[in-house]
Amino acid sequence: MRIAIIGVGNIGRRYAGYLHEHGLDTVFVDSNGQCNHRRVVEVSEPGRVDAWIVSTPTDTHLGIVQEVLAQAPGAAVLIEKPACHPAQISTLIGLATRYRDARLMVNDVYAHSATVEALASATHGRSASDPVRRITVEFSKNRLKDMAAGRFVDQVYGDVGYEWFHMLSILRALLPRPDFDSFLNRLPDVATAGVHAETALASNINIALHSSVIGDIGFPEIGLRYITAAEPQRHLRGCTIPYGSDFRYRVAAVDFQSGATATAVFEPHYGRTTNYKNQHLVEVRAGGLTERHDIAENHLRRALLRQIEVITTAGPHDDARLRLSEHRHMARLADLLQLTDDRRPLNIA
């Protein structure tokens, strides 16, 4: 199998390593001149490329996808999230409509996570007899050092462009589809830039999402029980991840009417093991009993290989692979937050 990676920065190089480990051939395209080709049009026999990966800055995605499809109209293309800026969503739809034989997919890492699957299984298995009361998801990190180096800079979606897509993937796995659609199609009841959003659904499920790129922690109590090394404990108790720290706080918690809980904690062994990024846990507490699942997985590698398999074997275009509803939700939220002060709650009800 021959895979073309367009954009060989940090993520592109990681993808190349995973594909090499899996025994796949790679072709590199990057304007820096240190790759096989500087432009898509220079790739020899583009029709023999089994899949293309677009891992360039967001504002370049659609132009590159268009270049690929001009060379190979039935191409399988995996596009980094977000696929495009809000004003470009109609252009993305137009490309998918024009090239109906193409297989376009937005990289949806947490849709393929074994940790998320375990949390979702525990949630759905219990919710039939014990309704879900609240779902909380937080993905926070201090990215200011990365931004100063020119990485992870999104001047259109703002904070929503970093982790929100991943958090929506987790929420999609936990909620019944009608509830998830309802969540996407309405503005939150309370929202603050940073980003903290809370929504009460008609089904009586409360949703709380928090994501910060400057290290502000919204729900430290979820991780305090599980992340026990001294350094992250200080961060959690102070509700702040300091500049320069590589600690990522990624948790999801489900509270049920009975008081039972199901919790996922990503990378709980930060500060304790060298392979902490590939170690996660899911724990269910109910009726005085605790059921714990320790899960070893590399999210990025697993999702990449699964999605390459999907787009190289699936039929032609499927709108669901583009996650258009998630992109529209993010666009509305980003637009809303531009109208608020940095820390002032916005009550929309």
Report residue 347's pLDDT band, with 50, 70 and 90 as the boundaries: very low
Quote the percentage of the chain above a pLDDT of 90. Answer: 80
Query: 303 pLDDT exceeds 80?
Result: yes
Top CATH class, 2-107+302-319:
alpha beta
Asked whether the whole model's pTM tops 0.85, one would answer yes
Three-state SS at 99: coil
Query: 228 pLDDT exceeds 70?
Result: yes
pLDDT for position 341 = 42
Residue 161, Cβ neighbours under 10 Å: how many?
Answer: 20
- Cα–Cα–Cα angle for 286, 289, 295, rounded to 5 degrees: 90
Query: 343 pLDDT exceeds 70?
Result: no
Topology match between the domains 2-107+302-319 and 110-298:
no
Q: Is 21 within 8 Å of 47 (Cβ atoms)?
A: no
DSSP characters over 174-192: HS-HHHHHHHHTS--SEEE
Angle between helices 164-174 and 324-337 (to 10 degrees): 130
For the chain, which residues make up each domain, given as ranges?
Answer: 2-107+302-319, 110-298
Mean pLDDT value across residues 94-109: 96
Tell me the per-residue pLDDT of 260-269, one tens digit each, with 9 for 90 and over: 999 999 999 9
Whole-angstrom Cα distance, residue 161 to residue 155? 9
Tell me the per-residue pLDDT of 137-169, one tens digit each, with 9 for 90 and over: 999 999 888 878 777 667 778 789 889 999 999
CATH architecture for the domain at 110-298? 2-Layer Sandwich (3.30)
Quote the percentage of the chain above a pLDDT of 70. Answer: 96
pLDDT for position 37 = 85
